[in-house]
Amino acid sequence: MFRESARALCKRKRKRNEFKSGSVDMASVDKGKATKEQKYDRQLRLWGDHGQDALENAHVCLINASATGTEILKNLVLPGIGAFTIVDENKVRGEDVGNNFFLTKSSIGRNRAQAATELLQELNSDVSGNFVEESPDQLLDNDPDFFHRFSLVIAVHLPESTLLRLAAFVWGAGVPLLVCRTYGLIGYMRLVVKEHTVVESHPDNALEDLRLDHPFPELKKHIQSYDLENMEKRDHSHTPWIIVMAKYLEKWRSEHNKQMPKSYKEKEAFRELIRQGIRKNENGVPEDEENFDEAIKNVNTALNPTKISSGVEELLQDENSKNIKAQTSSFWLLVRALKEFVEKEGQGSLPVRGTIPDMIADSDKFIKLQNVYREKAKEDATAVSNHISALLQSVGRLPESVSEQEIRLFCKSSAFLRVVRCRSLAEEYSTETINKDEISSCMDNPDSEMVLYLMLRAVDKFYQQHGRYPGVYNYQVEEDIGKLKSCVNSFLQENGLAVNVKHDYIHEFCRYGAVEPHPVASFVGGSAAQEAIKIITHQFVPFNNTFIYNAMAQTSATFQL
Amino acid sequence: MADVEEPEKKRRRVEELSEKMAVDSGCRDTGDWEGRWNHVKKFLERAGPFTHPDFEPSTESLQFLLDTCKVLVIGAGGLGCELLKNLALSGFRQIHVIDMDTIDVSNLNRQFLFRPKDVGRPKADVAAEFVNNRIPGCNVVPHFKKIQDFDESFYRQFHIIVCGLDSIIARRWINGMLMSLLSYEDGVLDPSSIIPLLDGGTEGFKGNARVILPGMTACIDCTLELYPPQINFPMCTIASMPRLPEHCIEYVRILQWPKENPFGEGVVLDGDDPEHIQWVFQKSLERAAEFKITGVTYRLTQGVVKRIIPAVASTNAVIAATCATEVFKIASSAYIPLNNYLVFNDVDGLYTYTFEAERKENCSACSQVPQKLQFSSSAKLQEVLDYLTENASLQMKTPAITATVDGKNKTLYLQTVASIEERTRPNLSRTLKELGLAEGQELAVADVTTPQTVLFKLNFTS
């Protein structure tokens, strides 16, 4: 699906008469030299230059420049998103200015999209800001293709009917949608994306890929080149713990029918075996050999069997990797190539990752060992590359269409591949496919964040019925509690949910009067922006698919609805 | 659908008209306009089922926030900018902000109150200017100073203090300062002497926010173990056995620079000077080549030399928002505050975890329990010094130890003044007995991690 780059879109003149739109003229050139490299340094260390490129080529659409919306955009403009377009037909009111950093007193009465665009644009001259003074309903009526050009659509505070209409359009077009709202002290996000693939998930605590249970031939040969018993003391103390462990593992396996130490007792005995290997001085006292200490410490994790995780295994067996076509994405082509590698050269294992942790060792021994892993990783990547070339050829595509760099990165990350698939909003909202199980089981605890989701659905029902939200004016509060309760009950009944919603929550949601306190909007702003960046850069893993933030209790939860 | 929308449209039109009239007819001195505080007032003027037991709905609470409540924001960086915005848009107007730094280009990706033209100017000043300009009526007072430049009389004036600091030492200092403001009558803590301290911290995609009620809940020092000491590479690795590109860079920074003085005698390596970093980068490449190590880049060099922590706008927004919500809760008694620690991580989905950090019974900052030192009388003073710096609960940086010996105040060791360090250095190799210290002796220890001296009781084990 072709999506225009941000720059191309901005250059295009919009010759529309039906609605007013525009871009904001960039202010005069900023004084002071601030190179992008310097300015974005702190974030480049998180997502790299390629992540930044993806960000700078993205064009995001925000519907409704309420505080939540502008806070989200602020956190996308600051890191340098390519372009944004705000869709908002509303005029700025006094209360809008009160909670929104990107509206001022002089904005009152002006179109909210335009006013907000000006002050957001001012944050970063690298970014191109646009606005459209139309309601999303009007756009969906007159120009539904409008939304298809964006990398991501962020919908803030849309009534249910409009939201479902929008969601249906962008779902069909394959454009990711992020629904956000702030309702009193509750924050809400819903990610709607059919399929989102992640190569670089950057897991927090990844286990090393050392292959000690099945050393590949080059590693075996390298281990054999060491003669621990007859080494000089200095060499002995500066041998990498990986080698030390491998040597003692050989010993253990030869005495235990080729089995690895598995049980707690066996691992204890194995540690003792290594400990016995520590050189002793003339008085029989063990010397200080930190590398042996490291080996002993790592027994727990380094002996884990080399195994493909269930998550990755599922991907290898996925339909998308089985049925390769001409338009199959690079991701699935690579998964298929990976699968073929695993079945052939890998002999059941993924490509060697090629990295080892730092450890006490002299430079020479460490570098040599590191290179053994690196060379093997290169070799495996080449094998994967050959599979890719054959696959590309088989569907009539050029071998260069998947770069060497992409292949290498994919191989290095192969243990951490992730695919996120969200249910559509239609599925969530239909009484036939609503996720009853998830809702009911969460509501076993009546104070679970799930009750807040149910309340949000109920206030939307209230809006549908009464044309307003509950409790906006003081005089409405008491009566609206009863009306909202009816909405809650009919919602539960329509959806066959036998759960109890405590009266306190109904009261609280009337108390909120649908306000949008800035700090809560800002929390959602930060959270949503980061999820947007994940979608755009394909790095780190987005949530799936509903996130609720409770500012009263300072808790949060993620549900798959 | 059109029928349902009509009443709503009508209502808004009526509202719009009345707002217009309010604007045209001139506003009050505060520069307020109709509806300005609608998003805030609901929480102050309406009763609710989850409010704090002390909460009473009132139309006067807003005035308290606007005119009276004094909040101190420490730090005008990533968290500070967000905090100032959040507080100003929540009705707080009497805000002070302290920051000792000036603006750098690398701040601009998240510290949104600053622009390229502001580079070089004090953060506190620019931040205050921006907020006061954008939010009419807001009165942010900037202080381009260190927190240590102020004493109790300054801090005492605030109702609440929020920190967006990037240093554990600074956190411990302000923590200690607030402890020193506590007053006890007959062993009972006077609640009016408590100034709530809200603390936020971020690093990449991780962050935390906590509420500290000095004298009542866990303080910074109670949970020092949550901040493990920064790991530096061992010298032998750097000097003779480098394996990683980082080792090569540290070699140049720690050993080669002082030896070669590439920019002149006594010119210290300045991580913010691109020429300095370029030199370190080149030399690191040479060192790496010697040992066949790959991976030295300019970016890595700068990162290692400056101990750079990656940072983005989004994490700061989340943590500052959490803190600001707590400020509002505490100032308004609207809800029970966070009790008392929240951690946040959005690497994989979004994850928060809230728990109650517990007070440490013998916390050196807040427990009032006399701190003990147990050593043999033949132990050297150096051992005591090592204990003060290495013990996980104390983690002092450059402690100065004094004692009363023979009725006179004697400085046993002090390292922050070169001449005194030289004079007292021999004491380090003397035994506690030789130094004239007795069983049950009180030692007073001063350190950057606390504004107050910490008293230790010396017990001899042998």
Q: Are A201 and A412 in contact (CB under 8 A)?
A: no
Looking at the partner chain, which of B205, B243, B317 has a beta carbon nearest the beta carbon of A361?
B243
Per the CB < 8 Å rule, is B293 touching A363? yes
Partners of B83 on chain A (C-beta within 8 Å) are: none
Position B1 scores a pLDDT of: 43
Among A26, A531, A554, pick the best mutation site for testing chain B contact (most B Cβ within 10 A).
A554
β-pair type (A21-23, B184-185): unpaired
Residue A116 identity: A
Q: Is A476 on the interface with B (CB under 8 A)?
A: no
Per the CB < 8 Å rule, is B115 touching A30? yes
Confidence check: pLDDT of A25 > 60:
no
Confidence check: pLDDT of A82 > 60:
yes
Looking at the partner chain, which of A42, A95, A202 has a beta carbon nearest the beta carbon of B347?
A202
Q: Is A184 on the interface with B (CB under 8 A)?
A: yes
Distance to chain A for B7, nearest Cα, Å: 7
Looking at the partner chain, which of A78, A185, A515 has a beta carbon nearest the beta carbon of B38?
A515
Position B404 scores a pLDDT of: 83
Confidence check: pLDDT of A4 > 50:
no
What would the mean pLDDT of A180-204 be, rounded to a whole number? 97
pLDDT band at A26 (very low <50, low <70, confident <90, very high): very low
Tracing tokens 């008469």 back to the chain, one arrives at A17
Position B431 scores a pLDDT of: 94
CA nearest to B105 within chain A: A39
pLDDT band at B452 (very low <50, low <70, confident <90, very high): confident
Nearest residue to B393 (alpha-carbon basis) of B355, B353, B366, B375: B366
Nearest residue to A422 (alpha-carbon basis) of A187, A176, A201: A176
Q: What is the pLDDT of residues B53-68, one digit of tens each?
A: 999 999 899 999 999 9
Per the CB < 8 Å rule, is A238 touching B318? no
Per the CB < 8 Å rule, is B48 touching A91? no
Q: Is A550 on the interface with B (CB under 8 A)?
A: no
Q: What is the 3-state secondary structure (H, E, C) of chain B?
A: CHHHHHHHHHHHHHHHHHHHHHHHCCCCCCCCCCCCCHHHHHHHHCCCCCECCCCCCCCCHHHHHHHHCEEEEECCCHHHHHHHHHHHCCCCCEEEEECCCECCHHHCCCCCCCCHHHCCCEHHHHHHHHHHHHCCCCEEEEECCCHHHCCHHHHCCCCEEEECCCCHHHHHHHHHHHHHCCCEECCEECHHHCCCEEEEEEECCEEEEEEECCCCCCCCHHHHHHCCCCCCCCHHHHHHCCCCHHHHHHHHHHHHHHHHCCCCCCCCCCCCCHHHHHHHHHHHHHHHHHCCCCCCCHHHHHHHHCCCCCCCHHHHHHHHHHHHHHHHHHHHCCECCCCCEEEEECCECCEEEEECCCCCCCCCCCCCCCEEEEECCCCEHHHHHHHHHHCCCCCCCCCEEEEEECCEEEEEECCCCHHHHHHHHHHHHCECCCCCCCCCCEEEEEECCEEEEEEEEEEECC
What would the mean pLDDT of B43-62 be, rounded to a whole number? 94
pLDDT band at B206 (very low <50, low <70, confident <90, very high): very high
Taking phi first (over 0 means left), then psi (-120 to 50 degrees means alpha), and beta for anything else, what does residue B31 get? Answer: left
Per the CB < 8 Å rule, is B308 touching A520? no
Q: Say which residue, A168 or B186, is predicted with more confidence.
A: A168
Q: What is the mean pLDDT of chain A?
A: 93
Distance to chain B for A554, nearest Cα, Å: 6
For the whole model, what pTM was predicted?
0.91
Q: What is the mean pLDDT of chain B?
A: 92
Which tokens hold the place of B406?
């023979």
Taking phi first (over 0 means left), then psi (-120 to 50 degrees means alpha), and beta for anything else, what does residue B70 get? Answer: beta
Q: What are phi and psi of B95, to 5 degrees?
A: -125, 135
Nearest residue to A76 (alpha-carbon basis) of B324, B208, B86, B312: B312
Q: Are B458 and B441 in contact (CB under 8 A)?
A: yes
Per the CB < 8 Å rule, is A540 touching B348? yes
Position A12 scores a pLDDT of: 39
Distance to chain A for B434, nearest Cα, Å: 33
Position B407 scores a pLDDT of: 79
Q: What are phi and psi of A237, to 5 degrees?
A: -80, -10
Position B405 scores a pLDDT of: 80
Among A42, A418, A447, pick the best mutation site for testing chain B contact (most B Cβ within 10 A).
A42
Confidence check: pLDDT of A7 > 90:
no
What three-state secondary structure class fits A236? helix
Distance to chain B for A14, nearest Cα, Å: 30
Position B15 scores a pLDDT of: 54
Q: What is the pLDDT of residues A109-120, one digit of tens each?
A: 999 999 999 999
Taking phi first (over 0 means left), then psi (-120 to 50 degrees means alpha), and beta for anything else, what does residue A28 get? Answer: beta
Confidence check: pLDDT of A33 > 50:
no
> How many Å apart are CA A38 and CA A53, to the nearest integer?
15
Per the CB < 8 Å rule, is A45 touching B299? yes
Per the CB < 8 Å rule, is B6 touching A78? no
How far lies B308's CA from each of A466, A559, B272, B311, in Å? 54, 35, 11, 9
Q: What are phi and psi of B460, to 5 degrees?
A: -85, 130
Confidence check: pLDDT of A403 > 90:
yes
Tell which A residues from 265 to 294 touch B, by Cβ distance under 8 Å. Answer: none
Partners of B325 on chain A (C-beta within 8 Å) are: 185, 517, 519-520, 523, 551, 554
Residue A400, exposed/middle/buried by CB under 10 A (0-12, 13-18, 19+)?
exposed
Confidence check: pLDDT of B14 > 90:
no
> How many Å apart are CA A358 and CA A370, to the nearest integer?
10
DSSP A90: P
Tracing tokens 């059109």 back to the chain, one arrives at B2
Distance to chain A for B449, nearest Cα, Å: 27
Residue A115 identity: A
* Residues pairing with B206 in the sheet: B203, B345
Q: What is the pLDDT of residues B142-198, one digit of tens each?
A: 999 999 999 999 999 999 999 999 999 999 999 999 999 999 888 899 999 999 999
Q: Is A525 on the interface with B (CB under 8 A)?
A: yes
Partners of B34 on chain A (C-beta within 8 Å) are: 94
Among A552, A555, A559, pick the best mutation site for testing chain B contact (most B Cβ within 10 A).
A552
Among B323, B346, B353, B354, pick the best mutation site for testing chain A contact (most A Cβ within 10 A).
B346
What would the mean pLDDT of A20-35 be, rounded to a whole number? 49
Partners of B127 on chain A (C-beta within 8 Å) are: none
Residues contacting A286, CB < 8 A, separation 6+: A275, A278, A279, A280
Distance to chain A for B55, nearest Cα, Å: 14
Q: Is A159 on the interface with B (CB under 8 A)?
A: no
Partners of B335 on chain A (C-beta within 8 Å) are: 185, 552
Q: Is A162 on the interface with B (CB under 8 A)?
A: no
Q: Is the ipTM of this complex over 0.90?
A: yes
> How many Å apart are CA A269 and CA B59, to the nearest integer?
72
Per the CB < 8 Å rule, is A105 touching B136? yes
Nearest residue to A536 (alpha-carbon basis) of A32, A75, A27: A75
Compute how many other C-beta atoms are within 10 angstroms of the C-beta atom of residue A490: 13
Position B369 scores a pLDDT of: 80
Has B366 been annotated as catalytic? no
pLDDT band at B10 (very low <50, low <70, confident <90, very high): low
Q: What is the pLDDT of residues A427-464, one digit of tens each?
A: 999 999 999 999 999 999 999 999 999 999 999 999 99
Confidence check: pLDDT of A30 > 90:
no
> How many Å apart are CA B165 and CA B200, to the nearest integer?
7
CA nearest to A119 within chain B: B134
CA nearest to A521 within chain B: B321
Given the residues B27, B69, B138, B236, select the one marked as catalytic: B236
Per the CB < 8 Å rule, is B241 touching A362? yes
Among B39, B86, B130, B342, pick the best mutation site for testing chain A contact (most A Cβ within 10 A).
B39
DSSP for A19-35, please give it.
S-EEEPPPPSPPSS---
> How many Å apart are CA A85 and CA A482, to the nearest integer?
40
Tell which A residues from 235 to 254 touch B, by Cβ distance under 8 Å. Answer: 238
Contacts of B40-47 with C-beta under 8 Å, sequence gap 24+, read: B40/A98, B40/A99, B40/A517, B40/B65, B40/B90, B40/B91, B42/A184, B42/A511, B42/A512, B42/A513, B42/A515, B43/A517, B43/B328, B43/B332, B43/B334, B44/B332, B44/B334, B45/A474, B46/A474, B46/A477, B46/A511, B46/A513, B47/A511
Q: Is A420 on the interface with B (CB under 8 A)?
A: no
Q: Is A553 on the interface with B (CB under 8 A)?
A: yes
Q: What is the pLDDT of residues B105-115, one digit of tens each?
A: 999 999 999 99
CA nearest to A509 within chain B: B48
Q: What is the share, in percent, of chain A residues with pLDDT greater than 70?
A: 94
pLDDT band at B51 (very low <50, low <70, confident <90, very high): very high
How many Cβ contacts (< 8 angstroms) between chains A and B? 273
Position A328 scores a pLDDT of: 93
Q: Say which residue, B46 or B16, is predicted with more confidence.
A: B46
Partners of B108 on chain A (C-beta within 8 Å) are: 34, 39, 78, 124
Nearest residue to B232 (alpha-carbon basis) of B219, B212, B220, B249: B249
